[in-house]
Amino acid sequence: MHNKTSLSQLAADPSCMDDYDPSAMSVTQARLFIAQFLQPVTETEALSLRESLGRVLAVNIIAPSNVPAHNNSAMDGYAFKFSAGVKIIKVIGTAFAGRPFMGNLKAGECVKIMTGAMIPKGADTVVMQEHTVQKSDNIALLEETKQGANIRLAGEDLKLDQTVLAKGHAMKPADIGLVASLGIGEVQVFRKLKVAFFSTGDELVGVGEKLEAGQIYDSNRYTLHSMLARVGAEMSDFGNVPDNPILLEKTLLEAAQNNDVVITSGGVSVGEADYMKALLAKHGQVLFWKINMKPGRPLAYGKVAHAHYFGLPGNPVSAMVTFYQFVQPALLALSGAACMAMPVFKVECTQAIKKTTGRTEFQRGLLFADAETWKVKPLPKQGSGVLSSMSLANCFIVLDETVGNCAAGEMVNVQLLEGII
Ligand code: AMP
Ligand code: MG
């Protein structure tokens, strides 16, 4: 793969590398290309456990104890020392969760035990209450219970000294609970990424303002803000900037100054004579690509000062697709998150799709339940300006470069837009 110097070399002279064609980049090539320049942040901060939701661990979390700490009962029942053939056992006490029975059980003795209560000394088996009959101080065992039954062993969930969560892990609700189960109340995480963004275009108007003829509302800054919020970035919104070289230059330089990443939308179409390209050539090392994909063909990536720069296409659907396919994975990598491939799986597509080979398409799709089976259909309007298709979709139908027309009933790859968490 290419090395670091290639960014400035390539920006100055795209023909300097044999296998590099900015006007025909595959999705995979572009992803790999960007990945080589991503150095994760190094600064960390200590957060209280609850605050760490969604953040990336900067250290391994090692178990300071077993979880559970003691053998305990998985059932409400009676704890006793197993002995083959024994049917009647004497009840000599009770063990509650958090209030152990402190005695030592002898053969023929048991204690009534609640779920989660510590197994008393001498006991090795728990019989479910439903499998017993109590008669005065004794219980009769109605069914054969296996030795060791209904006991949760110490360390069954987490073992002392094991790595519970590795550095680079992004904290989910289950992780927060897991760390709490170890009694750890504070964790070390990487700092948030600082991301600046702005929209470009003379036609753009902020929401709340009146539209004149030919103007449109700047929706990209709203989708971008939301997508960045989901990634957990610390955001700086530089507004919508008209196609004015002085204003664009000022905003670009300001945005790049104290941020890890700058994202713009609009004005990066390859071959288009516009100010952004000239500015980026002047102030950064930025590569302009035509990606073999639909939607989202033009994409710019590079560096402006110390900030990573992503120039997204202006069309609202293209901006979202390129964000999800290139920017989001890059932001996760920069946040120190361990690489997690987005799951892609095959589902039957109920409608035919027209497609030419040689490019990857991310069609907006709807996964729906057809009797017992989940199937997918493409949404009817697939234009790169039809943002309602993104709103209606719950998945991308991913048709890679090798795929041509799909007949109804064929299996297609899908990528979920929303997960359970
Ligand atoms: P551009 O990439 O600047 O040539 O823009 C391509 C298309 O996207 C044009 O129709 C623009 O009007 C539209 N567009 C650009 N920026 C935005 C934005 N921030 N919000 C909504 N549409 C936009
Ligand atoms: Mg524009």
Render 122-180 in DSSP notation, one character per residue: T--EEEEGGGEEEETTEEEE-S---TTTTEEPTTSSB-TT-EEE-TTPBP-HHHHHHHH
Is residue 12 situated within a structural domain? Answer: yes
Both tokens assigned to 275? 């100010």
- Residue 365 in contact with ligand 1 by CB distance below 6 A: no
**Res 4: pLDDT:** 54
Domain hosting 52: range is: 46-66+166-190
- Residue 296 in contact with ligand 1 by CB distance below 6 A: no
Residue among 145, 87, 92 at smallest CA distance from 121: 92
Q: How confident is the model at residue 8 (pLDDT cuts 50, 70, 90)?
A: confident
- Residue 314 in contact with ligand 1 by CB distance below 6 A: yes
Rg of the chain over CA atoms, in angstroms? Answer: 30
Interatomic CA distance for residues 264 and 304, integer angstroms: 12
Give residue-wise pLDDT tens across range 115-161. Answer: 999 999 999 999 999 999 999 999 999 999 999 999 999 999 999 99
- Residue 315 in contact with ligand 1 by CB distance below 6 A: yes
Contact indicator for 255, 196 with CB cutoff of 8 Å: yes
* Residue 315 CA, closest ligand 1 atom number: 8
CATH assignment of the domain containing 107: 2.170.190.11
Are 313 and 186 in the same domain? no
* Residue 267 CA, closest ligand 1 atom number: 3
* Residue 298 CA, closest ligand 1 atom number: 2
**Res 414: pLDDT:** 98
Distance 202 CA to ligand 2 centre (A): 7
Return the ligand number nearest the Cα of 298. 1
To the question of pTM greater than 0.75 for the whole model, the response is: yes
CATH assignment of the domain containing 280: 3.40.980.10
User: Looking at 334, 362, 388, which one is the last position of a domain?
Assistant: 334
Is residue 173 situated within a structural domain? Answer: yes
Cross-sheet strand order for the sheet of 234-241: 234-241, 194-200, 261-265, 307-312, 298-304, 284-290
Distance 297 CA to ligand 1 centre (A): 13
**Res 12: pLDDT:** 85
Distance 317 CA to ligand 2 centre (A): 14
The total number of residues written for the chain in this structure: 421
Residue among 37, 28, 6 at smallest CA distance from 291: 28
Q: How far, in Å, are 350, 386, 399 from residue 368 at the CA level?
A: 10, 21, 19
- Residue 71 in contact with ligand 1 by CB distance below 6 A: no
Phi, psi of 249 (to 5 degrees): -65, -45
- Residue 132 in contact with ligand 1 by CB distance below 6 A: no
Both tokens assigned to 53? 């939701």
Is residue 325 situated within a structural domain? Answer: yes
Is the model's pLDDT at 379 over the cut of 70?
A: yes
Q: How confident is the model at residue 276 (pLDDT cuts 50, 70, 90)?
A: confident
Is residue 160 situated within a structural domain? Answer: no
Q: Is the peptide bond before 68 cis (omega within 30 degrees of 0)?
A: yes
What's the total number of domains in the chain? 4
CA 288 vs. chain centroid, Å, equals 27
Are 143 and 207 in the same domain? no
